[in-house]
Amino acid sequence: MFDLVVRSMAAGMALAKAAALARTVALSVVTRQIGVAACLAFAAHAMLPVARQLWPDLIVLLIVPTLAAPLLYWMLARLIFVDGWQVRHWHWAALLPLEGIGLVLALGLIDRGTTLAALAGLVLRGVALVLVVDALQSVWRGYRDDLIEARRRLRIALILAGPLAIAMLLLPPMLPVTARPPLLLRVESGLLLAFALAVAMLVLRVEAALAPDRGAAQPETDPSSPDDLARIDRAMAEEPWRDCALTLERFAALAGIPVYRLRRAISDGLGHRNFPAFVNAARLDAIALQLANPECARTPILTLALDHGFGSIGPFNRAFRERFGVTPTVYRATNGGS
């Protein structure tokens, strides 16, 4: 009864989160769909052990979304915290090992007492663990350069909740194919409820994190913003972006602005969601002028990229194409630079 009540509470919160995400207007269609699917998968995961005892005929309906939960969690983390990241068709290929191996184990197509079954279970949890850990790394990597304060707080909360997600993968088998001690089942139920409570509070912040104009103070309400923007312009005129190692903290010192105010000025006043995007915009505009200058027609594009702060040609080419819609070579040829 304890497990049924606790897991039902966790599943109920997951369903409520799915409804909240479905109604939000801050999310793109893809993010909203994956968020809803992730919540439904979590609800299925929460009810799986109970369903094995009470509704064995419906177990397959819960196994399929449960197996997809790690991949959906990974996709959702990247969509929210990695600006410009998009779900590709080949990302769904990770479902093949998760669903295939999981269904083979759950349906008893492999003898559960064999080495092959143990190895399959290890691979299943390993793939899920890699996805969850990579999602947490994506959340952490962008923390320092993130300019959206609500999203920075959301990053910290997810990092703190991360061990709960990992524990749910490591402590019990992802698919409980054998009977487990009651104490272990209660520990897992407690973890599920704690994770559901944590994420329920996080969902309330998702809209502010993805739509900073709604959750952050507007520039006109902050009397220091015009002065901060002027300081930023003066600092950028010295071309600090030519240094590929430029950091938010170093630029704040150069501009004479506290870091928290610099984040707000760049995000609210200039419309950039992270510091690298702000710096790269200045670099790309300066390079575009050089590419259109006939006097620089013989300067290699790689030299221009390195001189303007890009560490290598690959990231420069991608950034340039995203900003101007064409490659640097085509831009030079069509704008009088060659």
Residue 4, pLDDT score: 73
Average pLDDT for 1-21: 79
- How far apart CA 228 and CA 314 sit, in angstroms, is 33
pLDDT over 70 at 28, yes or no: yes
Q: Which of 33-42, 90-99, 209-218, 316-325 has the lowest mean pLDDT?
A: 209-218
Q: Could you read off the pLDDT of 296-335 as tens digits, one per residue?
A: 888 999 999 999 999 889 989 999 999 999 999 999 988 8
Long-range CB contacts (< 8 A, 24+ apart) of 81-88?
A: 81/138, 81/139, 81/142, 81/146, 81/151, 81/155, 82/138, 82/142, 83/142, 83/273, 83/274, 83/277, 84/322, 86/30, 87/30, 87/34
C-alpha gyration radius of the chain = 25
Provide the 3-class DSSP secondary structure of residue 80.
Answer: helix
Average pLDDT for 205-209: 56
Provide the 3-class DSSP secondary structure of residue 146.
Answer: strand
pLDDT over 60 at 217, yes or no: no
Residue 336 zone, left/alpha/beta (φ > 0; ψ -120 to 50; rest) = left
Question: For residues 143 and 193, is the Cβ–Cβ distance under 8 A?
Answer: no
Cα separation of the two ends of the chain: 77
pLDDT over 90 at 248, yes or no: yes
Q: Band of the pLDDT at 58, cuts 50, 70, 90? A: confident
Residue 200, pLDDT score: 65
Residue 269, pLDDT score: 87
CA angle 69, 73, 79 (to 5 degrees): 145
- How far apart CA 266 and CA 270 sit, in angstroms, is 5
pLDDT over 90 at 283, yes or no: yes
Q: Which two tokens stand for residue 105?
A: 């184990």
Q: Could you read off the pLDDT of 142-190 as tens digits, one per residue?
A: 888 998 887 888 888 778 777 766 766 665 544 443 455 666 666 767 7
Q: Which of 11-20, 53-62, 112-121 has the lowest mean pLDDT?
A: 53-62
pLDDT over 60 at 230, yes or no: yes
Quote the percentage of the chain above a pLDDT of 70: 80
Residue 212, pLDDT score: 44
